[in-house]
Structure 1
Amino acid sequence: MADRLAGKIAIITGGGRGIGAGITQRFVEEGAKVAIVQRNPPAHALLDDRTLYVKADLANSEQIRSAVETVVERLGGLDILVNNAGIMFEKTVDDMTEADWDQMMDINLKAPFLLTKAAMPHLRKRTGASVVNIGSIEGLASNPGHPAYSASKAGIHGFTAAIAIDHGHEGIRCNAIAPGWINSDLSEMYLDSMPDSTRVRKELLAMHPVGRLGEPSDVGNLAVWLASEESAFVTGQVYVIDGGRTKKLPLPIS
């Protein structure tokens, strides 16, 4: 076990599946104690003497505040906050209701604000505190039918810069990670649902100059660096991790 996060205490929202699980696993490998904060219990394999599950509905401000206080009480403080949990659905502006829009913003943008607000008094007490927000390449561009999702992730990128500016003098850094396509159980179900999933998979792979799709551990590796003292002079940044996908210009040829 390495020790880049030895002695650190972290909250990871949605840390029990997908990208969040990848971050949780890498943090634990690097010596951190991790509190997984989400609505449903994580897989038992993720829970051991270095991980703690705290139940919270991230659409509920009181449950968010209570979850942060529970983590601090049970683990003895807080050094790192990873705002990872989020939702996504595909609806154009025409199709979307006001309630749809509010739901996306409540989970993807308001919850990170409330979590950061609740965490701030505890982060101030630590040396080398770090907030890591999970944005998206869709905060920089958009897929069809994603106006609310893209808006929420662009908001996360802006929120990241603002936290870095306002709280840098307190020793609190804030950076964002903007993942591209990352393999997960949900992405596999999505691909399998396509009429010609074999062709779709081949074309998706061709979009990535590195020749593969992303893994949760790829995001976890970057999150470890951003949470550690190795990135002590880095704040307010958005790191795209997409295998080069957004740098590849499309051509009208196969």
Structure 2
Amino acid sequence: MILTGKNVVVTGGGRGIGRGITEKLLAAGARVLVAQRQALDAELAGNPEVFFVAADLAERGAPRHIAEAAQDLLGGADVLVNNAGFMVEQPIDVMSEEDWDHMLAVNLRAPVFLARELLWQMRQRGHASIINIGSIEGLGANPMHAAYCASKAGLHGLTRALAVDLGSDGIRCNAIAPGWIDSDLSDAYLNAQDDPQGARKGLLALHPVGRTGTPRDVGAAVVFLASDEAAFITGQILVVDGGRTAKLPLPF
């Protein structure tokens, strides 16, 4: 299998997009350390190739705690997947500094310092990879998403900077920018619209492939970027959105 022998740290790897990433990594032969606040469900907890560390990424000490767990439980990390993040719709005129700081702490500060804390392990193991889960909202914007868009655009910029700085250490860094990915939250959002059926039809019309994405679509891209098949790819933002951002909107 393409990732046999690889040790991977995935933040937020037990739910949503992170769960799809974890499942695809396991299927490719990797061992996975999931770092998140919530305990693992029974299926993941019972898998001998899955490990867990409880961590709140809003806390400054979380990156070092996760890195220590990676060394203790895995013997070191080959791959870091910075997946954990959150989004709140909020117009800038009511946004507080505390709200801004919290989103940037989880979505951007934690990936920076997780990379720093795992750096010595990756240098020691060689041929390592950092994969940041950004968003198409790091490229464009939806209404009332100022903090989220800023955090994801910053993550894309961080990706390019780390690729430049760490290439000589044999460490690649890329990002994935997912589009609309199916989840309980996205389903609830559609169901809350005045015309849920019409909203779903309109959403599908935005996607040339004729469907929205799944967490495993993102996971498949992570597996590729983590593998030696992507050995000459670094500093890139891979858009995984079913063609949504490639399609020009029409007024009819």
State if a TM-score over 0.5 links the two structures. Answer: yes
Equivalent of 1:18 in 16, 19, 26: 16
Report percent identity of matched pairs. Answer: 54
Q: Distance in 1 between matches of 2:117 and 2:158?
A: 15
C-alpha distance in structure 1 between counterparts of 2:219 and 2:182, whole Å: 13
AA of the residue aligned to 2:4: A
CA contact (8 A) 2:51 2:73 kept: no
RMSD over aligned Cα, in angstroms? 0.8
Matched, 1:50 2:49: yes
| Superposition deviation, residue 117 in structure 1 | 0.8
- 2:130 pairs with 1:150: no
The amino acid that maps onto 2:188 is M
> TM-score when scaled to structure 1?
0.97
Alignment-derived partner of residue 106 in structure 2: 107
Matched AA of 1:204: L
Distance in 2 of aligned mates of 1:66 and 1:147: 30
Runs of 4+ in 1 over 6 A off after TM superposition: none
Aligned position for 1:35: 33
Give the letter for the 2:27 counterpart: E
Counterpart contact for 1:57–1:64, Cα < 8 Å: no
Offset, 1:209: 0.4
- 3-state SS of 2:125 partner: coil
Q: How does 1:1-254 map to 2 (within 5 A)?
A: 3-47=1-45, 48-253=47-252
1:17-58 deviations in whole A, cap 9, x for unaligned?
111000100000011000000011132222310001110010
CA–CA distance in structure 2, aligned partners of residues 129 and 51 of structure 1: 19
* Unmatched segments (≥5 aa) in structure 1: none
Aligned length: 251
CA-CA distance at 1:64 after TM superposition = 2.3
Matched-pair contact (CA < 8 Å) for 2:55–2:66: yes
CA distance in 1, matches of 2:123, 2:96: 39
SS of the residue 1:174 aligns to = strand
Q: What SS does the aligned partner of 1:130 have?
A: strand
Give the drift of 1:109: 0.4
- For the residues of structure 2 that align with 1:252 and 1:190, how far apart are their CA atoms? 24
The letter of the residue matching 2:7 is: I
Is the Cα–Cα contact under 8 Å of residues 130 and 172 in structure 2 kept in the other structure?
yes
Q: CA deviation at 1:161?
A: 0.4
Please say if residues 11 and 34 of structure 1, whose CA atoms lie closer than 8 Å, have aligned partners that are also in contact. Answer: yes
Residue 167 of structure 1: how far off its partner (Å): 0.5
How many angstroms apart in 1 are the aligned matches of 2:25 and 2:169?
24
> 74-83 vs 39-48, which deviates more?
39-48
For residue 124 of structure 1, give the secondary structure of its aligned residue in structure 2: helix
| Contact 1:108–1:153 (CA under 8 A) maintained in structure 2 | yes
- Cα distance per residue 1:92-137 (max 9 Å; x no partner): 2112111111111000000101111111110101121000000000
CA contact (8 A) 1:22 1:217 kept: yes
How many angstroms apart in 2 are the aligned matches of 1:220 and 1:70? 23
Taking the aligned partners of 1:79 and 1:61, their CA distance within structure 2 comes to 23
Contact 1:138 1:153 survives alignment (8 Å): yes
- Give the gaps of 5 or more residues in structure 2: none
Question: For residues 73 and 153 of structure 2, what CA distance do their matches in structure 1 show?
Answer: 34
Structure 2: distance between partners of 1:11 and 1:18: 16
* Cα separation, 2, equivalents of 1:64 and 1:39: 13
Mapped partners of 2:182, 2:53: distance in 1: 25
* TM-score, normalisation: structure 2: 0.98
